[in-house]
Amino acid sequence: MPHYHKMGTIPHKRHTQFRKPNGQLYSEQLFSTEGFSNDYSLLYHCHPPTQIVRTEPQYSVAPEIAEEKMLSHRSFEGFKVPPADDFLESRIPVLVNNDCHIVLAAPRKSMETYFYKNADADEVIFVHEGKGVLKTMYGEIDFGYGDYLVIPRGTIYQLHFASEENRLLIVESFSPVRYPKRYMSKFGQLLEHSPFCERDIRPPHRLATHDEVGDFLVRAKKKGMMYGLHYGTHPFDVVGWDGCCYPFAFSIHDFEPITGRVHQPPPVHQTFEAHNFVICSFVPRLYDYHPDAIPAPYNHSNIDSDEVLYYVDGDFMSRKHVTRGMITLHPAGIPHGPHPGAVEKSIGAKETKELAVMIDTFHPLQLTKAALDIENQGYVMSWAE
């Protein structure tokens, strides 16, 4: 999905001899999330990236499902997920289906003693609070408040945080995460009517080559199990790479809103898409400018999708009692819309300062036990207030 990028030192031709100063060969690796039939990158390692020296017993990290089927509006207090020192232990799945997992995390500590690889899913990590550095075999990406970190499945990475106050929204996608097709040219460029462009995409910008031998633990998740794989060489021993499959950052603050004379539907906020779900960004914007416009969203029925809204910051005129990190789930099958009084209150408003991430899934979501622990009871009745 990203445009072509290269870093470090690479040979003139792919799949040809590329030697170290001492005459030994570098080890070439093709990296793709869809076999040999789609975007890929070629990485050149100091050592073969295959040298497993020992393994640890696997353990389950599969989400515990509390409700498989339901037809009720729900609301959850995301910031009630308790912080944890370890990044992986802090990850709490709250809403899941076979296409994606929606996860909350509040890690206190950086990943110093191990590396992580999600072998099943692309990850989109939205940074609500905190800042730091994403370190990968492709190089490093600085991140901060409002950044989406898009990490292709199979990427080995570490997150290094600048402080202990961190809040993350993580979407695990079991299909590749891409830009919306309607914003792409047939040659892969983001078109002029897209709400963002290649200049807004931040690829890795520091390639630190670690030519080291030793014992390096990579925790890898596959099919709901966590595996401990010890490698004899450092995973970030890459001297150069090029291609179109790599992690990148995109800030929600660089999303340019599309507005109109009357209220625009949610697809104008779309930022990413995958198989059977989309991710949208709601950002500060001017309201509709028709003289009789109603800025509040109209009531609508979710017939084909579950709608999840993660509230980041700002004022939300369509909802009452909104808190930072709140999640609302409006499932397919019943209509929803502004809370009582919100429509009249919105008339005449000129702009909104809201900031939110929306995830629309085209198959129903299931609630985990962890979601029930942070639920706002009675939310479904809040339209009767």
Supply the CATH number for residue 283's domain.
2.60.120.10
Helix (H, G, I), strand (E, B), or coil: what is residue 339?
Answer: coil
> What pLDDT sits at residue 183?
94
pLDDT at residue 385, rounded to an integer: 60
Domain assignment of residue 202, yes or no: no
Nearest one of 343, 115, 125, 76 to 215, comparing CA atoms = 115
pLDDT at 317: 61
Strand ranges in 106-247 using DSSP code E only, listed in sequence order: 115-118, 122-129, 132-136, 139-143, 147-151, 156-161, 167-173, 213-222, 225-233, 238-243
Residue 193 within a domain: no
Q: Is residue 112 part of a domain?
A: no
Count of Cβ atoms closer than 10 Å to residue 45 Cβ: 23
Q: Which token pair is 92? A: 């709490």
206: in domain: no
Eight-class DSSP state of 26: P
Give the whole-angstrom CA distance, residue 223 versus residue 139. Answer: 27
What's the pLDDT score for residue 36? 82
- Let me know if residue 313 belongs to a domain: yes
Per-residue confidence (pLDDT) for residue 260, from 0 to 100: 86
Q: Answer whether residue 152 is part of any domain.
A: no
Query: What is the rounded distance in angstroms from the CA atom of residue 55 to the CA atom of residue 64?
Result: 26
Mean pLDDT by 10 residues, the chain (385 residues): 89 96 96 85 97 96 94 93 96 97 97 96 98 97 98 97 96 96 92 94 95 97 97 98 96 93 88 96 89 82 88 77 91 85 82 92 96 91 76
- Give a yes or no: residue 61 inside a domain: no
Residues 6+ apart with CB under 8 A from 368: 63, 64, 65, 66, 92, 93, 94, 95, 96
Structure tokens at 70: 């339901």
pLDDT of 113 reads 94
For the beta sheet containing 248-251, the strands, ordered from the edge strand earlier in sequence to the opposite edge, are 65-67, 366-368, 92-96, 100-105, 167-173, 122-129, 147-151, 248-251
Structure token pair of residue 133: 């550095």
pLDDT for the residue numbered 380: 85
Q: What pLDDT sits at residue 315?
A: 76
Per residue in 323-337, pLDDT tens? 999 999 999 888 888
* Domain-located, residue 335: yes
Give yes or no for a contact between 219 and 116, defined as CB atoms under 8 angstroms apart. Answer: yes
Tally of domains in the chain: 1
What range defines the domain where residue 306 resides?
Answer: 255-384
pLDDT digits (tens, 9 = 90+) for 276-334: 999 999 998 988 888 888 888 888 877 789 999 999 998 776 566 789 999 999 998 88
